[in-house]
Structure 1
C-alpha cells in the first residue's frame, strides 16, 4: 500500500502512530497481566445523532481498510516509541511483529445509520483490536460528519449538481478526505486535485477574482480565459458590476458561453436578474453557478432560483456545524480466558451521565413497510428473527486480517443515494427533529 493513497506525507511510513498514547500503555499492561490474548469484540456506534440531524451517513470505510492494512510498527516508529519511553522493550518486541489478524464487519460505506447502530465491529485479540481504536474513530467521525452534511446539501439541491470547494478552508490532508466524503454524500465534482488524483473524483475549476484583477480590464480577462479554455468555460462575473460583466461575457464568448459564476450579493435576486439578462442576450443555454458560503439552508432557499449548480466550501468541510459524529469504540464482549475456545462474555460500561453502553456482539437489520420504506433500525444479539434475516446490515470487511470488501467509490455513492431514498420523506426535512427511524433493541444486556 502506498502511503500517498492514504493522504499521508511520503515520509510517514505507516498509520501506526495515528493512535493515542494510552492504547499502547493498555497493551503493555494487558501483556503483563496475561489478558492481551483474550478474544474481544469492539463496536463503533454513536449514542445520539448531532442535534437536529435525522440520519447519519457511514463514510470513510474504505480509508479505514487502508489504515488497518497499513498499521505497521517499522524501525522508525519503534525507535520513536523507545526514545520517548512510551512502552517497555517486551511491548516493543510485540509491536514489531504486529499485523492485524482479526475480522472486521460493518455497515457498507454509504449506508445510513441511527443512534445505537453498530456501524463497525472489530474482532480479534484484545491486544490487536485496542490499537486500532483511535485511527478508526478519527476516520469515521470526520468522514461521516462531512458525508452527512453533503447528503443534506444534495437533498436540498435536488437534481442540480454540487461542487466541493473546501480545500482552502481546512487542513490540506483533511481536505482530501472531505472531498471523498462529499462525493459519497452526493457531490458531483471537487476543486481539489489531490482528491481527484487519489480517488478518481472528477475535478473542475476555471478562475478566481485575482485573474480578473490581473488584467487591465474585465474584457481582457474574459478574452484571455476564453482564448485559453474555450467558449464553454465559466466566467466569474461579480468582480465589479454584475450586469456589465454579463454583457461583456456574452460579447466575448458569444451565446455559446458555458456558464457564469456569482460569488457575492443577494444570490436569489442576482440569479433571477442574470438569467433574464442572459436570455435577452441570446445566451439561453448559459448556466448559472453560485458560490459564497453556502450551506444546506441557503441551497434550499435557492430552490426557486434559476441556478444550475452550487459550489460549497467552508460549511461542507466543517460538517455544516457538526464536525464530528461523536462515534465511540467500545468493548462489548470478551472471552473468559485466552483459550481460543473460551466463550464470549457480554461486557458494558456502567456509569451515570448518559454514557452507558450495551453489551454483546450485535447484529443490525432495517425493517421496512409494505412499500419498502424503512420504518425501524432493529439491533439485537443472538439469533436474527426470520422476518429480518434478509434485511441485515453488517457485511464482512476484513477476514483473518485480509481486506475482502474494497469497492469503487461510485458504488458507494450510488449506495448512499438508494439508502437515503428508502427513508421516510421526513428524512430530507431541514427543520430540527429527531432521528427519522426509531432504534429498537431485542435480547440485549444493558449497562446501568
Structure 2
C-alpha cells in the first residue's frame, strides 16, 4: 500500500494550538494537585442526533489520527504561551515534552452511529488525554456532519453521480475536509484540487459562465473548450438560451459530446426538454449534469428527471442545515493513580437537564434481527454478552501512542455503503423522524 492510498501527510503542521485555553489550565492545575497522571478514560459521543436525522455517519477518524500524531509544542508555541501567561513554568516544561502515549479505540470511519455511541475512546493519563479534547471534537463534529449530509444525498441520488463542489462556499481548509467527508458519505468526485492532492479523491471541472461570456459568441466558447479538453467534455448550456446552446453544443462537439450542465431554471422541466433535444440530435449518449443550490430534497425531487449526475455545493459543506453533530468528550472513568493495576472507577456528569452522561469504560455492539438488519445499538460497561461478541464496533486505532490503523479512504467509503445498507429501510426516508434504531444500555 503506497502513501497516496492513505493520503499525503507530509508537511502537516503541529495541531497543539488547535485547542481551548482551559485544556492547558486544567493540566496546570492537575500537575500542581498531583492528579495529572491519574489513569483516565474519555469518550466522544453525542446525546442526540441532529433534529430529524435517523442515523449519523462517523467521519474524520483519519484526520483525528493525523492530529494526535502531530500534537506537540514547538519552541515558538511555547514562547507564545509564556509571553501570554497562559500557563506557568512547570507546565511549559511538561508541554515541551508532550507526546500522546496512550491508547485510542473508535468506530471505524464510515460506520454509522446513534445517540450514546462511544464513537471514540481515549485512554491514558488525565493530562495527556484532556489536551486532545478540542481538536478531536472540532474534527469529528465537522466531518461527521458533512458525511451525514452526503449520505442522505447519496441515498436520494439512487446511484446517480454526485460531484462535491462547495469549495467557494466555506473556509479553504474546511473545503478540503468537507470533500473528504463527502467522499466517505457517497460522493464520487470533487472540484477541489487540494482535496484531490491530499486524499487522492477523483477531481473534475470544466468551465463556468465567465468562460462563455469571455468569448464573442457561445459557439466560440464551446469551440475553444472542445479544442482544449476534447469532445468528452461537459459544456455549460444555460448562459443564454438553453435550447440554442444544446443545438450549438452538438454541432460543435458532435454526437459524442460528453455532457451538458444545467445550472438554473426549473431543473425537472429543463432536464426533460434537454434530454429530448439531445436524443433528437443523435447525442443519445450525452449525459446531463445539474447544479444550482441542490440538497437531498431537491435531488429526491429530480428522481424522475433524466439526470445523470448532481453537483452540490453550499448545502453539502454546511451539513444541509446541520453543520455540527453536537458531540462531546467526557471523562467516564478514572483511577486514583497512574498504576495500570489500579482499577478504573466510573464517573459521570449528573447535572440537571439533558446534559447528563453514563459513566464507565464502554463497549458497543449492533444487534441484528433474524434478517440481518440492525435493530439496536447496544452499549455496556461490563462483560460483553456472548451473542454480541462478534458484533462489536470499536476498533483499536492507537496503541501506546503509535497509530496502528490507517486505511485507504476508499475503505471508509465502502464501509459506509455496507453499514447504511444494514439499517432498516426507513433510514433512507428524508422526512423528519427519530433514530432508526434505539440505543440500549446494559
Task: Please confirm whether the aligned pair reaches a TM-score higher than 0.5, indicating the same fold.
Answer: yes
- For residues 68 and 405 of structure 2, the distance between their equivalents in structure 1, rounded to whole angstroms, comes to 13
Q: Distance in 1 between matches of 2:432 and 2:297?
A: 12
**In structure 2, what is the Cα distance between the partners aligned to 1:441 and 1:345?**
18
Corresponding residue SS for 1:414: helix
Which consecutive unaligned segments of at least 5 residues does structure 2 have?
Answer: none
The aligned counterpart of 2:276 is 276
Q: Partner residue of 2:32?
A: 32
1:337 aligns with 337
Q: Could you tell me how far apart the structure 2 residues matched to 1:340 and 1:228 are?
A: 65
Q: Hey, what's the Cα distance between the residues in 1 that align with 2:426 and 2:338?
A: 48
What TM-score, normalized by structure 1, do the two folds share?
Answer: 0.96
Q: Give the whole-Å Cα distance in 1 for the aligned partners of 2:118 and 2:411.
A: 22
Equivalences for residues 163-312 of structure 1 within 5 A: 163-312=163-312
Between the aligned partners of 2:272 and 2:120, the Cα distance in structure 1 is 47
Distance in 1 (alpha carbons) for counterparts of 2:13 and 2:165? 29
In structure 2, distance between residues paired with 1:120 and 1:294: 32
Instruction: Give secondary structure in 1 for the equivalent of 2:37.
Output: coil
Answer whether contact 2:8 2:197 (CA < 8 A) is retained: no
The gaps in structure 1 that reach 5 residues or longer are 443-448
Q: What is aligned with 2:410?
A: 410
**Aligned equivalents of 2:340, 2:371: Cα separation in 1:** 45
Cα distance in 1, alignment partners of residues 393 and 340 from structure 2: 27
Question: Structure 1 residue 371: deviation in Å?
Answer: 1.3
- Per the normalisation by structure 2, the TM-score is 0.98
Aligned-residue offset at 1:13: 3.6
Distance in 1, matches of 2:45 and 2:207, equals 42
TM-aligned CA deviation for residue 401 of structure 1 = 0.3
Structure 2: how far apart are the matches of 1:92 and 1:58?
34
- Shift, 1:5, TM fit: 4.8
Deviation at 1:339, TM superposition (A): 3.1
Match of 1:44 in 2: 44
Question: How far does residue 338 in structure 1 lie from its aligned partner after superposition?
Answer: 3.4
| SS of match in other structure, 1:423 | coil
**Which structure 2 residues correspond to residues 351-430 of structure 1 after superposition, within 5 A?**
351-430=351-430
Shift in Å at residue 336 of structure 1?
Answer: 2.0
RMSD: 1.2
CA distance in 1 between partners of 2:107 and 2:169 (Å): 30
- Partners of 2:339 and 2:388 lie apart in 1 by 33
Contact 1:6 1:67 in 2 (8 A): no
Aligned length in residues: 437
Aligned to 2:66: 66
8 Å Cα contact 1:262-1:291 kept in structure 2: yes
Contact 1:42/1:332 (<8 A) preserved: yes
Deviation track 1:69-91 (CA, whole Å, cap 9, x = no partner) reads: 00011111111111111000100
Q: CA deviation at 1:6?
A: 6.0
Partner SS for 1:51: coil
